[in-house]
Structures are given as C-alpha cells and as structure tokens.
Amino acid sequence: MLLNTDGPNTQAAIRTNLGAVFVSLELSKSTWLVTSMSPGSEKMSFHSVKGGDIAGLFARFEALRQKAQVRQGKLYPVVVIQEAGLDGFWIERVLAAESWIESYVVDAASIAVPRKRRRAKTDRIDGETLIRTLMAYKRGEPRVCSMVKVPSLEAEDRLRISRERKALVAERIAHNNRIKGLLFNQGIRDYEPLCRDRRKRLEELRTGDGRPLSHHLKAQIVRELDRLELLLGQIKAVEAERDALIAEEKPDQTAPMTALLALKGIGAEFAAILYAEGLFQQFGNRRQIAAYAGLAPSPWQSGTINQEQGVSKAGNPRLRTTMIQLAWLWLRHQPDSALTRWFHVRIDKGALRSKKVAIVALARKLLVALWKYVHHGIVIEGAIVKAA
C-alpha cells in the first residue's frame, strides 16, 4: 500500500468549474473567517469579517462575485456553508432570503477527518475542509456529509417550551436535593421540601441530637426554599403555556398533539415533546425518522464478522430519551396493543439484558407507529384510546 507522504499544506487538484462561488464561514464571537473558492482560480482565499457584521459579509460576497466576473465574464451565484453551532440559524435565514445565495448548514460531526496522526485544527484548515465538503456535496457525492434541515421560526419557538421545562425541573431537583443533604447532615431524614407545609415543618425540625436548627443553617435553607418556590412558579407558568398551545389546536384541522393525548399513556408533556422535537417534520420513510431520533441500528460487518453495535445515538437526544421512557409506559398502559405483544414474545425467554435491548427496539417501532398515526391517521393496532 502506497501512502501520500506530502506535507499537510500540499493541496490536491480541485474541480472548480461548478458554476458558483463557494464560500465557507468559520464563525466566532469576534471574527468571521470567510474562505472562498471562485471559478477561474485554483487557490482558496481567506478574508476576515467582524463578528455579526452582516453588511460586511454581503460586501465580501459581492467583491468575490465581481472578481470572478472579471476573470470569467459571468456573474456567478454564491453557495455558502457553515457549521451548526452557537449562532443558531439566524445567519442562514438572512442568507437564504437572497435569491443569489444558496445556503447550507452542515452537521460538523458528519464530516470525515484524517485519523493517521494527531489532527491539526485551525480556522483556516476548517474553512478549507468545509469548502472541499461543500463542493463534493454539490457534485453529488453520496454520504459526504449531513446537512441540517433548518426548522421554521414557529417550529423553533415551539421547542422552547418543553426544553425550558426540562431545565427548570433539573434545577428544582438540584435545590430539593441540596436542602435534603443539608438536613441529612444534621440527622434529619423525613423533611420534604416540595410539600406545601415546608415552611411550617422547617420551624418544627430538630436535629438528630435534639437541637433546633442553627441560625445560619436555617437561613441558608430558607434562601434555598425561596429559589425552589420561584422555580415551582415558573414551572407552572411554562406548563400553562404548553397547555394553551394544545388548546389552540383547531378541531377542524389536523391536531397532532390532541391526537397524541388521545392515546392512553401519553400526557401533555410527552405529547408536546414528541411533536416539537420530531413528529412535526415530514420524513420520507421509517428509516429516516428512526435515524433522526438516533434509534437506527449500527451494524458492524467485515468479512465473516457481522454483528450489531446497538443504536447509533447520532440523532436528537431529547426525542430518543422520551421515546425510551414512553416505551416502558406503553407496556404498562397499552398491554393489549400489537407492539406490547411483540415485546413480550421477543423477551419471553430472555434475560434482563434482552429486555433492555428489546425496549430500545420497541421505542423505535413505537416512534414509527406514532409518526404514521399523526401524519397519516393510521391507528396503532390494539391501542387504547382515552374516553373523551
């Protein structure tokens, strides 16, 4: 086997006659690095724009187009690529609004990188890699990368309700555990900070050796209770927004969250997460939605070796976690459904590990079934529907 021993700065020949100016953006807080490859040029050019300066970015694009027009006698469109990151999708929306710009957002983890040595990483190297990846993608090379499907403003805004509630619940658990830990250190084991009489109970507490709570410890717990009660109020407000969103669905139109709520075992929070995190999108087939949730299998096949490595975990982690939780609840609340019967047949002679493997498979099947139910009205066989 022959290896290319050229230095890391050696550039291979690149086909540039694709009829466009290719641009990659490396975004940071202070500076945006613009890497470009124009028709009639065999070298990549690098320019910096102040972070957030959209007018300066458009001016740079126009300058690149003018240079290409001078060389080739034609005004070319601009094809832009950027990584999905902290800036979100607002830059892509600004670029996509221009008719002469074709914009893409790429999943950075899907881009292949060399593994034969410790990899150097700079903005210039990343910019070059993005340009090469974008040109390969436009040439039609399969699986060169995974482009991100940018959600609509309404879909992105709808995500915030369930995600904010999850963050608030995590904070509530942290404060609750902190209060219990402080009291456990004093020999108090039966105090529940989430009970409504928490303030009254705090005044009655005595330590394991019969003393009242010390002054500073009690003051610390009171401040923890203040923050805990603030979180409880915010959680109620977020849940009220979620319930109002479900109530706003018009009965004469497709009401996906209402349809999900009709199934026994699915509550308001699960319905909001399932729809906002995945079921609002259109998928071509069941493999696409399983891959989006990271529930697609990962085969390992080489020669005579052919085995499964488990799910890929490359998709939406919130949707994947919710589906596995829902799969366990589905077994309890939908015992007569076809999916539950399939699960029990699968694990009839298995051990605990078989149950864990089978529940992930059930989550994948259940997600596909719910997608068909929401978008195509195909009722899950044997599923129990709640009474109106």
Segments making up each domain of the chain, as ranges = 21-139, 154-247, 256-376
Amino acid letter, residue 40: G
Query: Which pairs count as long-range contacts for 45-48, CB under 8 Å and 24+ apart, including other chains?
Result: 46/124, 46/127
Contact 282, 149 (CB under 8 A): no
Contact 130, 160 (CB under 8 A): no
DSSP 8-state class, residue 212: B
Instruction: Quote the CA–CA distance of 180 and 193 in Å, as a whole number.
Output: 8
* DSSP secondary structure of 253-272: S--HHHHHHTBTT--HHHHH
* Helix then strand then coil, % of the chain, to nearest 5: 50, 15, 35
Instruction: Quote the CA–CA distance of 309 and 319 in Å, as a whole number.
Output: 20
pLDDT at 13: 47
Amino acid letter, residue 84: A
Amino acid letter, residue 67: K
CATH of segment(s) 21-139: 3.30.420
| Bridge partners, 104 (sequence order) | 81
pLDDT tens digits, the chain, 388 residues: what are they?
A: 344 444 444 444 445 567 899 999 999 999 999 999 999 888 899 999 999 999 999 999 999 999 999 999 999 999 999 999 899 999 999 999 999 999 999 998 889 888 887 888 899 999 999 999 999 999 988 889 989 989 899 989 989 999 999 999 999 999 999 999 999 999 999 999 999 999 999 999 999 999 999 999 999 999 999 999 999 999 999 999 999 988 887 664 468 888 899 999 999 999 999 999 988 888 888 888 998 999 988 888 888 888 878 888 888 899 999 999 999 999 999 999 999 999 998 887 665 568 888 899 999 999 999 999 998 888 899 999 886 5
Instruction: Quote the CA–CA distance of 345 and 339 in Å, as a whole number.
Output: 10
| Bridge partners, 305 (sequence order) | 302
pLDDT at 3: 41
Q: Euclidean distance between the first and final Cα of the chain, in Å? A: 70
Contact 171, 192 (CB under 8 A): no
> Of all helices (H) and strands (E), which one includes residue 83?
strand 78-83
